[in-house]
Amino acid sequence: MQAEIIKTQAEELSKTSDEADIRAQVERGSTLLIVVALTSFLMTWTYLLHWWVGDNWASPMLWDSQQMLYGLGATMAAASLAFAEYHLYQFPVITTLFYVARIVVFASLLVTETANTLNREDERVHHQSQNSAVFKAVVESIGTTSAATAAAASSASPETLAAAAEKAKHQAALSTCGGTKSCNAARSGVAQAQAKLDASAAVQASGGAVAAAQITALANKANDLAYDERNFSGITKVMSNIFGTSPLTTALILSLLFISSLQLAFIALGRTVAIARAALPRAKSVASLRTGTQNATQHANPDTQIAATDNEVAALNTIWNEIDAGRITQISVRNDGQIAQTLKDKGYGSTNAERKELVDFVVDALRRESVLIGNPGWVDGADNGRRPQYIINPDRKIKYNHKK
């Protein structure tokens, strides 16, 4: 179906544009498709390298043997997709397998290029978040608090030192006391000093718990700031607010829309190139016929021109010759018409479908040369055999003069 549509559009293009314009369309479109394929290769390649090789994908000199193998596979996969994109997008779908291949390529490019676009946005948010002044200040506060806590834990307060000295003094007195009264006093002093030590330890522990809580809070804040959704692009935040989705989900949707739009535009570009490429031989044949570059003599035998000229031009010369000779008097595009039967007898085309293409080309070219004119009695949908769309122009230019 698509091949027939492209063929019809190519015929229309060959009627409205000359060979130079059509050739320029093919060249511009093909060049742009090459640029598109190279861009797709780079986007797919970088994504696959990042996915398969790992974080050091951009440093091939640091790869091990396994990473090299994955890197080679990523390169081959990306190149294959780009090659398929370039060729499949500019040729009409002719078989089911061809159609499936185009869908597979489209889906693969859509996934990889969308993922690559989303990864770049994700990395940009990470980079801006972790390089913000607020994030750096929080990280610095964590370090300062940790250092102060460690210093406090490693050094004793003056109260603790005094209580320890008092406890040691009473313990020494207890070891040398000779009477009950003096020993009781020493024991009481040890107990009081120990109470002071316990109180100091409790204060120090409480301070450590507070510091630990502060460090935990700062760490949680740093974790939140390390990926701050406020650093997404403006359009992502706006669309996220409109649709009520998370910024990351919105970024995914926008990436899908952007890449799918590009791919559809590339398919349309490929279709334009396919139409222009199909129209080029027809425009070239008609232009060559008009300038006489492919017809050195007017009385050349049509049967001998097939090997020397384009098949369509040779068929056109044959039918023109038969009309001038009076052997073709009715113009019909049907398979049983005089034009199709003449082409069959002369060996043009191996099937009715091939001859039908030649008949369409010949009728169109003869109409351009005013050999054929519109039939006033023609009605759309009527029997083409009895009331054809075109009739032979009685005032036509005689190309092959058969008068003796």
Task: For residues 327 and 212, state if they share a domain.
Answer: no
Name which residue leads in pLDDT, 131 or 82.
Answer: 82
Mean pLDDT of 185-206: 66
Q: Does 312 have pLDDT greater than 60? A: yes
Q: Are residues 124 and 205 in the same domain?
A: no
Q: Is residue 77 part of a domain?
A: yes
Cα angle, residue 279 at apex, residues 278 and 280 outer, rounded to 5°: 95
The predicted model scores a pTM of 0.47
- Asked if 196 and 257 sit in the same domain, the reply is no
Please give the average per-residue pLDDT across 196-203, as a whole number: 65
From 229, 169, 160, 240, select the one nearest 199 (Cα to Cα). 160
Residue that is last in its domain, among 227, 249, 270 = 227
> Contact 144/211 with Cβ under 8 angstroms?
no
The amino acid sitting at 206 is S
The strand pairing partners of 372, in sequence order, are: 392
Same domain for 175 and 198, yes or no, is yes
**Of the given ranges (42-51, 94-103, 169-178), which has the lowest mean pLDDT?**
169-178
User: For the residues 338-352, what does the mean pLDDT come to?
Assistant: 87
Neighbours of 315 (CB within 10 A): 28
The verdict on 80 and 18 lying in the same domain is yes
Report the alpha-carbon distance of residue 213 to residue 122 in Å, rounded: 31
Confirm whether 148 is domain-assigned: no
Give the number of domains in the chain.
3
220/243 same-domain check: no
Q: What pLDDT is stored for residue 178 in this prediction? A: 57
**pLDDT the model gives residue 68:** 92
Please give the pLDDT value at position 247.
Answer: 80
Confirm whether 213 is domain-assigned.
yes
Domain shared by 56 and 86, yes or no: yes
Range of the domain at 187: 155-227
pLDDT tens digits, 245-286: 888 788 888 888 888 888 888 888 888 888 888 887 766 555
Give yes or no for residue 292 having a pLDDT over 50: no
Do both 196 and 115 map to the same domain? Answer: no
Q: Per mean pLDDT, which of 160-174, 181-195, 361-375 is the most reliable? A: 361-375
Report whether pLDDT(300) > 60: no
Residue 400 in domain: no
User: pLDDT-based confidence at 72, cuts 50/70/90?
Assistant: very high
Looking at residue 389, what DSSP letter applies?
A: S
Residue 367 pLDDT class (50, 70, 90 cuts):
confident
**Residue 171 domain-assigned (yes or no):** yes
pLDDT in tens, 83-130: 888 887 776 655 566 667 778 887 887 788 777 777 777 777 777 777
What's the chain's Rg over C-alpha atoms? 44
The answer to the question of residue 291 being in a domain is no
Residues 307 and 357 occupy one common structural domain: yes
Higher pLDDT, 283 or 295: 283
pLDDT at 303: 40
Together in a domain, 38 and 173? no
- Which pLDDT belongs to residue 295? 45
Average pLDDT, the chain: 74
CB 48 within 8 A of CB 19: no
Report yes or no on 271 lying in a domain.
Answer: yes
pLDDT at 267: 82
Q: Does 93 share its domain with 38? A: yes
- Mark whether 7 and 104 lie in a shared domain: yes
Q: What is the per-residue pLDDT for 311?
A: 79
Residue 353, pLDDT above cutoff 50: yes
